[in-house]
């Protein structure tokens, strides 16, 4: 599956966490300017340290329960366009405020794409470790890739037995 590879098998609690995380990812429903993240380049060379800091800041802000919904939307690739329906469909999940993500590692296959390894916590307890996602550099800032959201939504959907199309993920 593109965008997500859980390292562990899922139990009922993990399914709930994935659904809540999908809600956290999708809790982005209006437009506002996003966070200021530093450019990944300095001159003509790629600045890995600056880009790593920016990716971690974007993910931390995006997954924070204190980040306003309007700001979260600006931190998701296509958050205000093709992902809008998927985003709105999960915004009301009651577990959203209990889920956080912690970036463990960032690597850069290119200057505009980052591979992100992160953990998922529910109420402060890690329940999924070594999750794989992506970030993309667009419009002068690093964003959580829409493939990460789609992967989480597809995983949650497959665990629930649903086969309905996910708006924006196709």
State pTM to two decimals.
Answer: 0.75
Residue 130 within a domain: yes
Measure the CA dihedral 7/164/69/131, to 10°. 10
Higher pLDDT, 50 or 41: 50
Cβ-Cβ contacts under 8 Å for 67 (sequence gap 6 or more): 61, 75
What's the confidence (pLDDT) of residue 80? 77
Q: How far apart are CA 167 and CA 94, in angstroms?
A: 21
Residue 166 within a domain: no
Domain that residue 75 falls in: 12-160
Identify the CA nearest to 26 among candidates 97, 71, 90, 102: 90
Identify the CA nearest to 134 among candidates 114, 108, 151: 114
> Total structural domains in the chain?
1
What's the confidence (pLDDT) of residue 87? 59
Write the CATH number for 148. 3.10.450
pLDDT-wise least confident of 21-35, 108-122, 127-141: 21-35
What's the chain's average pLDDT?
74
In this predicted structure, the answer to whether residue 149 has a pLDDT above a threshold of 80 is no
Residue 144 within a domain: yes
Q: Which neighbouring-strand residues pair with 121? A: 100, 126
Identify the CA nearest to 144 among candidates 80, 75, 86: 75
What's the confidence (pLDDT) of residue 94? 61
Higher pLDDT, 36 or 122: 122
Residue 47 within a domain: yes
Higher pLDDT, 16 or 106: 106
| Percent residues over pLDDT 70 in the chain | 65
């Amino acid at each position: 599956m593109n965008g997500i590879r859980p390292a562990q098998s899922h139990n009922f609690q993990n399914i709930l966490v994935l659904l809540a995380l999908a809600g956290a990812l999708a809790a982005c429903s209006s437009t506002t300017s996003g966070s200021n993240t530093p450019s990944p380049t300095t001159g003509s060379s790629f600045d890995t340290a600056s880009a790593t800091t920016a990716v971690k800041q974007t993910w931390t802000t995006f997954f924070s329960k204190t980040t306003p919904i309007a700001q979260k939307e600006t931190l998701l690739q296509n958050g205000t366009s093709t992902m809008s329906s998927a985003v709105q469909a999960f915004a009301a999940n009651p577990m959203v405020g209990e889920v956080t993500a912690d970036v463990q590692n960032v690597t850069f296959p290119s200057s505009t794409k980052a591979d992100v390894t992160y953990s998922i916590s529910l109420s402060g307890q890690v329940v999924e470790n070594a999750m794989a996602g992506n970030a993309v550099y667009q419009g002068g800032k690093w964003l959580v890739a829409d493939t990460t959201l789609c992967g989480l939504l597809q995983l949650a959907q497959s665990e629930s037995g649903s086969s309905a199309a996910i708006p924006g993920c196709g």
